Chains A and B, each alone.
Chain A
Amino acid sequence: MSGHATKEFKVRWGMVIDVDKCTGCGACMVACQVENNIAPATPEMDAWAGVTHDASNKLRTLTWMLVYEINNKKAFPEYEAAYMPRPCMQCASPACVPVCPVVATDKNEEGGIVSQVYPRCIGCRYCMAACPYHARYFNWFDPTWPTGMDKGLSPSTSVRPRGVVEKCNFCHTRFQQAKDKARQDGGDPNNLPDGAYVTACAEVCPTGAIVFGDLNNPEHKVHALAHSKYAFRLLEKLGLGPQVYYYSKREWVHRLGDNYLPNEKKA
């Protein structure tokens, strides 16, 4: 679709998110911020510029993982709602990568995680415009933690300054740590067992709605789940080939996931 050759990987890290089990509690969003050193929106931030950074203004918040609330658009009593956690889709042929003028983002590592190198990013935001999933975020402000809170930062992710784009990277440092652990235990770092590497959101989820693993490996749970008839991907029609699958037994969720028109027949 994008005109670029899609790289094949032996390992493809991916998720299957059970929409029917997600209660929208938000624990994944919180765990993600903690793991990845996302500073909370500070009310007095950039007061000199007359700009306040309020977390209720969703145009300025950084939510690598964002739980959307979706509904079947019907009135009471037929109304139904569901929650849809949205990390970076780690597309097979990402729309964000070819538009980056400085190769700050790339999909080139075994595992298929789309990388983002912050010091390289020039903040042009082409990638944000290109991403149909709104998974990318721009640092409008320098990160500021409440006094003292920055003493307890996670060692997993570097702190990004103002002016760069960032996004979910499937808690990539955990991948590296899992490989180190495998090496230490005499295992194969390129063939991690199911569960050796999980993202912070999948780990914390109280209903286990987020399942993480290698989509290519039949020994990983996600392999079979992604092939289930109830599995679908967001905006599949665009052909970007996300490595994040959703799972629902509700037809309207499937239709919404691919943005079907009310009367359109599903392919």
Chain B
Amino acid sequence: MGLDRRAFIKFVVGGAAGTLFTPIPWKLADDASIWSQNWSWIPRLKYGALTADATYSKLCPAGCAVKVKKVAGIAYGVEGNSANELSKGGVCPLCATGSQMLRSPSRVAGPMKKDGDKFKPISWDEAEALLAEKLKGLKGQDGKVAAISGDLSGTANEVLSGFLAGLGSKSYFYMPADQTAMAKTWNGVMGGSGQIGYDLEEADLILCIGADIMDAFGPVVRNQKAFAAKRPMEGDKALTLVYAGPVRNRTAAVADKWVAVRPDGAAAFAMGLVNLLAKSGKSASLGGFSEFADLAAKFGPEAVEKLAGVNAEALKDVAKALFTAKNPVVVVGTEPGQGAGVALNAAGVALNAMLGSLTVLPEFPKAVASAPDRAGLLAKDLVGWLNAVDAGKAPAPEVLFVYEANPAYALPQAANMAKALRKAGTLVAFSTFMDETAALADLVLPAPHPFERLDDAQNPYGLGKATYALATAVVAPEKDCKGTPDFILGLSGKLGVDLGFGAFEDVLKAKVSAIGADWDALAGGAAYVSDKKGSAQASLDAGALSKALAGIKGEGLVLVAQAHLNIGTGKLATPPHNLPTIRDTELYGKDVFVQMCSATAKSLGVSEGSKVKLAAGGADISARVSLYEGVMPGVVAAPLGLGRTAWDPYTKGKGDNVSKILAVSAEPGTGFSVWAGSAVSVAKM
């Protein structure tokens, strides 16, 4: 028997039949189905013990008390810390993605020095030596070294401002915010001490004039908590919320009443209320109040209607509600949270004083004795200074430190401001992320991510009680970064400036013990809350306010910039996970949308989707029109936080930066830089 063709076929058939009695076909089919479920490029998960470490996240302006969730020691998420009084378990949309931002593509990997158009990595020691060399010759000369800080609550500012003071410089500025504008008013013009607070927890009526408390004003999460606590789903509400502003924004959406007020007329509206309350017999024990009340008398309902666009009935209704409420609180601010003029802030203080709800928080004792007082620094006018530098009216600093701020992007008339910043001999950016200011800098010194560092928050603006929170490093640094205050302490040692501390941890320990709080409790995530009240002694300067108020015209097309926490802040571009939260009526493709009601659109000859050019202050941006009936006529609303030129592919080049067309002017009477509700022109492209 030889192997012929037929036998071979039978052999093969036998073989094939045989395989059916083996695991081969069945196992292969099974495995193949599994194989197609596990592609190598689909990341696998990590497992292990689940833990959560409490800290205080300063990714958002006011901060959220969070617990960083970890699996097998690796941070992956965030949950609220309900044991902390500040945010009571809530988390804002930025801090919610805090763990992802640890590994953001925008993070600065290590210290870098500008070399031509590019950056080249250097070591921390080189950076320190380089700066020490530069600063040595500038010691004792005022104005040669300056600093801009975007962290309004941290003790790190004491180290930085103390260092500057030690070098003989007073040029320490904070980024503009509702807090700095109020400090200018209360601590500056009115001569008060401490910090204005808002006891929203105790209020039965909250009137927000301009202040978007649910999105941009103060500690947003705490505001939301205070609101929600009084609005139980079961039972009656114990709080009325009234929003007075040009846009039906997030605060207005949950408010009981929205009173449309022109952004440039907010102060007139507030004075109108002062007038009506004064007529009803309300008074305040503030110096110069009677002159102030006389000034307010000029803002009768008809005048307010002309200047603020609010009809007389609506104004009277609000005044009546304030008059009859037991615990009314008036919160003043601007839609984007960048600070109003002195006029509105003073009117706000007067209103609260008349209603018996003026809250003043005492300052916490300083840790760095040589540091200048916080209130005085907060009252300074950064935009005014940079404008003067830009115009050549003030000398440009030789060395300019920028800490936790992004002035090149976030200040009004951003392009001019960037130009002024660039006039500094050496621009040093202490930044966690590669933002617009870092991209412009000569030296980029990466600060740790908020979860990686020791930090604190004293009295975040907007709270009703003096509050202190501590942030501890709950994850190991992902990058070669260094705590800015620690770097400054090292530098000060080299320059012979004695701040009294060798490490930032010791500064904070001194702070905590000066406050009388317990370090371990704070490090465990609790906040220290004090019932102490500050002095409410201050006086109103009717003369200056009269001039400021005379500047209100109440006509023409005005721009209201809106800050939305989900889109990001000046200092934090939209995190990748927040992009889906931006509506396609705010951003589509590369186009940012500006909102206006159909009446405004009609008068401008534009319609839904029209491409327009918005111009103001010598700059312009391009945008598309989105019709939104929640914007009052004569007003164009535009979202801040887009149009990034640095950062990463997730955010870069999307939309345009509305800050560019916020036209700055000096408030008559006070000279303070203001830009809320500035005029804008809209032209169809």
Which A residues have a C-beta under 8 Å from some C-beta of B? 16, 18, 20-27, 29-31, 33-35, 37-38, 40-44, 54-58, 61-63, 67, 69, 71, 74-77, 79-83, 119, 142-143, 145-155, 158-161, 200, 203-209, 211, 224-225, 228, 230, 247
Q: Determine whether the beta carbon of B75 is less than 8 Å from that of A30.
A: no
Given contacts A145-B43, A146-B648, A230-B233, 6 further A-B contacts (CB under 8 A): A30-B581, A34-B577, A38-B577, A43-B649, A207-B90, A209-B228
Q: Determine whether the beta carbon of A224 is less than 8 Å from that of B234.
A: yes
Q: Determine whether the beta carbon of B598 is less than 8 Å from that of A79.
A: no
Q: Determine whether the beta carbon of A29 is less than 8 Å from that of B580.
A: yes
Assembly CA distance A200 to B234 (angstroms)? 23
B431–chain A nearest beta-carbon distance, Å: 18
- A146-B42 contact given A63-B580, A207-B227, CB 8 Å threshold: no
Most buried by A among B478, B565, B580: B580
A215–chain B nearest beta-carbon distance, Å: 15
- A228-B233 contact given A75-B597, A80-B248, A147-B105, CB 8 Å threshold: yes
Assembly CA distance A143 to B650 (angstroms)? 15
Which A residues lie within 8 Å of B215 (CB)?
23, 25
**Could you list 19 A-B pairs, sorted by A, with CB under 8 Å?**
A21-B233, A23-B251, A24-B250, A27-B93, A31-B91, A33-B580, A35-B77, A58-B584, A67-B581, A75-B629, A77-B260, A79-B248, A81-B630, A146-B105, A148-B478, A153-B76, A155-B46, A206-B225, A225-B234
Assembly CA distance A33 to B577 (angstroms)? 7
B127: interface (CB < 8 Å):
no
Assembly CA distance A211 to B576 (angstroms)? 27
B566: interface (CB < 8 Å):
yes
Q: How many residues of B contact A (CB 8 A)?
A: 78
Which B residues lie within 8 Å of A24 (CB)?
250, 253
Which B residues lie within 8 Å of A63 (CB)?
580
Q: Determine whether the beta carbon of A20 is less than 8 Å from that of B234.
A: no
Give B579-620 as 1s and 0s: 1 = Cβ < 8 Å from A's Cβ atoms: 111111001110000000111000000000000000000000
Q: Determine whether the beta carbon of A21 is less than 8 Å from that of B231.
A: yes
A165–chain B nearest beta-carbon distance, Å: 15
Give B78-91 as 1s and 0s: 1 = Cβ < 8 Å from A's Cβ atoms: 11100000010011
Which B residues lie within 8 Å of A67 (CB)?
581
Which listed residue, B79, B91, B248, B576, touches A81 by the CB 8 Å rule? B248
B233–chain A nearest beta-carbon distance, Å: 5
Q: Which residue of B lies closest to A31 (CB)?
A: B96
Q: Which residue of A lies closest to B231 (CB)?
A: A21
- A153-B43 contact given A21-B228, A34-B99, A147-B105, CB 8 Å threshold: yes
Q: Determine whether the beta carbon of A69 is less than 8 Å from that of B248.
A: no
Assembly CA distance A69 to B582 (angstroms)? 11
A184–chain B nearest beta-carbon distance, Å: 13
B182–chain A nearest beta-carbon distance, Å: 23
Q: Determine whether the beta carbon of B228 is less than 8 Å from that of A76.
A: no
Which listed residue, A55, A57, A204, touches B91 by the CB 8 Å rule? A204
Q: Determine whether the beta carbon of A152 is less than 8 Å from that of B76.
A: yes
B645: interface (CB < 8 Å):
no
A61–chain B nearest beta-carbon distance, Å: 5
For window 531-587 of B, CB contacts with A under 8 Å fall at 565-566, 575-584, 587
Give B98-112 as 1s and 0s: 1 = Cβ < 8 Å from A's Cβ atoms: 011011110000000
A210–chain B nearest beta-carbon distance, Å: 11
Which B residues lie within 8 Å of A209 (CB)?
228
B388: interface (CB < 8 Å):
no
Assembly CA distance A151 to B475 (angstroms)? 14
Q: Determine whether the beta carbon of B649 is less than 8 Å from that of A149.
A: no
B214: interface (CB < 8 Å):
yes
Assembly CA distance A145 to B650 (angstroms)? 11
Q: Determine whether the beta carbon of A40 is less than 8 Å from that of B577.
A: yes
A164–chain B nearest beta-carbon distance, Å: 10
B173–chain A nearest beta-carbon distance, Å: 30
Assembly CA distance A230 to B48 (angstroms)? 44
Assembly CA distance A58 to B227 (angstroms)? 31
- A76-B629 contact given A41-B580, A146-B576, CB 8 Å threshold: yes
A36–chain B nearest beta-carbon distance, Å: 10
Which listed residue, A34, A40, A61, A79, touches B650 by the CB 8 Å rule? A40
Q: Determine whether the beta carbon of A25 is less than 8 Å from that of B103.
A: no
Give B34-62 as 1s and 0s: 1 = Cβ < 8 Å from A's Cβ atoms: 00010101111111101000000000000
- A26-B105 contact given A20-B231, A155-B47, A228-B233, CB 8 Å threshold: no
B92: interface (CB < 8 Å):
yes
- A61-B580 contact given A146-B103, A146-B648, A155-B76, CB 8 Å threshold: yes
Which B residues have a C-beta under 8 Å from some C-beta of A? 37, 39, 41-48, 50, 71, 74-80, 87, 90-93, 96-97, 99-100, 102-105, 214-215, 220-221, 224-225, 227-228, 231, 233-234, 248, 250-254, 260, 478, 565-566, 575-584, 587-589, 597-599, 629-633, 648-650, 654
Q: Determine whether the beta carbon of A152 is less than 8 Å from that of B99.
A: yes
Which A residues lie within 8 Å of B41 (CB)?
142
Q: Which residue of B lies closest to A208 (CB)?
A: B228
- A206-B92 contact given A25-B224, A33-B580, A56-B584, CB 8 Å threshold: yes
Q: Determine whether the beta carbon of B71 is less than 8 Å from that of A146.
A: no
- A16-B597 contact given A25-B215, A148-B103, CB 8 Å threshold: no
- A54-B227 contact given A41-B580, A67-B581, A155-B45, CB 8 Å threshold: no
Which listed residue, A20, A143, A208, touches B254 by the CB 8 Å rule? A20
Which A residues lie within 8 Å of B576 (CB)?
40-41, 146, 149
Which B residues lie within 8 Å of A204 (CB)?
78-80, 90-91, 96
B345–chain A nearest beta-carbon distance, Å: 24
- A76-B633 contact given A26-B566, A43-B650, CB 8 Å threshold: yes
Which listed residue, B45, B93, B103, B581, touches A149 by the CB 8 Å rule? B103
- A82-B76 contact given A34-B97, A204-B96, A207-B225, CB 8 Å threshold: no
B89–chain A nearest beta-carbon distance, Å: 8
Assembly CA distance A200 to B274 (angstroms)? 45
Q: Determine whether the beta carbon of B96 is less than 8 Å from that of A71.
A: no
Which B residues lie within 8 Å of A22 (CB)?
254
Which B residues lie within 8 Å of A161 (CB)?
37, 39, 42
B263–chain A nearest beta-carbon distance, Å: 15
Q: Determine whether the beta carbon of B96 is less than 8 Å from that of A30.
A: yes
- A27-B650 contact given A145-B43, A207-B228, CB 8 Å threshold: no
Assembly CA distance A31 to B214 (angstroms)? 18
Q: Determine whether the beta carbon of B80 is less than 8 Å from that of A76.
A: no
Which A residues lie within 8 Å of B566 (CB)?
25-27, 30
Which listed residue, B45, B581, B633, touches A29 by the CB 8 Å rule? B581
Assembly CA distance A219 to B588 (angstroms)? 45
B69–chain A nearest beta-carbon distance, Å: 8
Which listed residue, A29, A56, A152, A206, touches B221 by the CB 8 Å rule? A206
The 5 closest A-B pairs by CB, nearest first: A206-B90, A40-B576, A55-B579, A26-B581, A79-B629
Q: Determine whether the beta carbon of A143 is less than 8 Å from that of B648.
A: no
- A152-B74 contact given A74-B629, A76-B630, A228-B234, CB 8 Å threshold: yes
Most buried by B among A25, A43, A159, A208: A25
Q: Determine whether the beta carbon of A30 is less than 8 Å from that of B598.
A: no
Q: Determine whether the beta carbon of A82 is less than 8 Å from that of B253.
A: yes
Q: Determine whether the beta carbon of B104 is less than 8 Å from that of A23.
A: no
Assembly CA distance A146 to B106 (angstroms)? 10
Q: Which residue of B lies closest to A153 (CB)?
A: B45
Assembly CA distance A139 to B80 (angstroms)? 30
Assembly CA distance A158 to B39 (angstroms)? 13
Q: Determine whether the beta carbon of B228 is less than 8 Å from that of A150.
A: no
Which A residues lie within 8 Å of B79 (CB)?
203-204
Assembly CA distance A16 to B75 (angstroms)? 30
Q: Determine whether the beta carbon of A151 is less than 8 Å from that of B74.
A: yes
Which A residues lie within 8 Å of B649 (CB)?
42-44
